[in-house]
Amino acid sequence: MEIAFGPVPSRRLGRSLGINNIPPKHCSYSCVYCQAGPTDAQEIAPRAFYPPETIFREVSQRLEAVRARGEKVDYLTFVPDGEPALDVRLAAAIDALRPLGLPIAVISNASLIWRAEVRDALGRADWVSVKVDSVSETTWRRINRPHPDLKLPGILDGIRSFARSFAGTLASETMLLAGINDSPAELTNLGRFLRDAGIARAYLAIPHRPPAVAGVHGPDEAAITCAHQIFHDLGLEVELLTAYEGDAFAFSGDLRRDILAITAVHPLRESALRALADKAGGDMTLIQVLLADGDLKAVDYAGETFYVRRPTGPDA
């Protein structure tokens, strides 16, 4: 498994070099909309995965390779196929990356933020996103399908506490799901929590990629606009993440490596895959080989074809 991938175009962070610090798919949640499929290993006790020095080596080598090709990198972002704070050495990994001189982001589901050591690790980053899909116990369980030992009130308290002490930028991300968390009452309660917690910017997203559970999808444009208005009226800085992030994936010189690294965490639309292949001379033969070998899988979703990496086991 590739620890460093991209840079990929991020709607919030510009060109983000991704760090996959957790093997697929260890997570405390098993969200119905997860693009990485169902959670194989649901766990909540932070433990060791990759050594910080390995993460540093992989990230610095990747950075060097993409910069040699003139690619720009704006952020180093922990965004694995799972929860980044499950890595007990996340703080050490962030510290190890500091000499690279780039801002560091962590995209977390916030489920472990009730732990002081997790707040300490996240607090070392420059930009942190916490996932809050609902503040209602029933809806939280329905969407995020949490580990049975997790408790929503403790998570919400942890977010409040983290927001009070964090010196960087704290964003939230909410996945809007039709008929599940898009009612005005749900969104008003959620928006009040985010505002009172002191979230700098609340992002509203919809599933853009094939979800773990068939039939889950985002609301229509009218409901998305309504959600935005509710948050806005509560005084939140709110942005929609409902636009496709573009096809500007980086090409490091090794097309096979790039495709497998990106699709491990980020299913690619056909247009994005073609754009990447064009940078390597436009030959699509390699994609056919990856499909025939079972390394890639084509998935139809919302009228488009996506290419995703075939799962190869929980610790692959």
For ligand SF4, the binding residues (CB under 6 A) are 27, 29-31, 34, 36, 39, 82-83, 109
Which is nearer to ligand SF4, 29 or 78 (by Cβ)?
A: 29
- Which amino acid is it at 83? E
**Least spacing, CB of residue 108 vs ligand SF4, in Å:** 8
Which is nearer to ligand SF4, 77 or 109 (by Cβ)?
A: 109
Which is nearer to ligand SF4, 3 or 277 (by Cβ)?
A: 3
Q: Which residues contact 4 (CB under 8 A, 6 or more apart)?
A: 17, 18, 19, 20, 58, 59, 61, 62, 63, 261
**Least spacing, CB of residue 240 vs ligand SF4, in Å:** 19
Which is nearer to ligand SF4, 82 or 219 (by Cβ)?
A: 82
> Residues 208, 201, 105, 224: what is their CA dihedral angle, to the nearest 10 degrees?
0
Which is nearer to ligand SF4, 34 or 122 (by Cβ)?
A: 34
Cβ–Cβ contacts within 10 Å for residue 209, how many? 18
Which is nearer to ligand SF4, 129 or 252 (by Cβ)?
A: 129
**Least spacing, CB of residue 131 vs ligand SF4, in Å:** 6
Q: Which residues contact 211 (CB under 8 A, 6 or more apart)?
A: 32, 33, 34, 35, 217
Closest by Cα among 89, 133, 92 to 109: 133
Are the CB atoms for 139 and 111 separated by under 8 Å? no
50 sits in the region (left: phi over 0; alpha: psi -120 to 50; else beta) called: beta
Please state, in angstroms and rounded to a whole number, the distance separating the CA atoms of residues 46 and 21. 12
Which is nearer to ligand SF4, 66 or 118 (by Cβ)?
A: 118
**Least spacing, CB of residue 39 vs ligand SF4, in Å:** 5
The two tokens of residue 205 are 């997203």
For the chain, list the strands marked E by DSSP: 4-10, 14-19, 26-27, 41-42, 75-78, 104-108, 127-131, 169-175, 201-205, 238-241, 268-269, 296-301, 304-309
**Least spacing, CB of residue 164 vs ligand SF4, in Å:** 24
**Least spacing, CB of residue 209 vs ligand SF4, in Å:** 10
**Least spacing, CB of residue 213 vs ligand SF4, in Å:** 11
Please state, in angstroms and rounded to a whole number, the distance separating the CA atoms of residues 244 and 301. 14
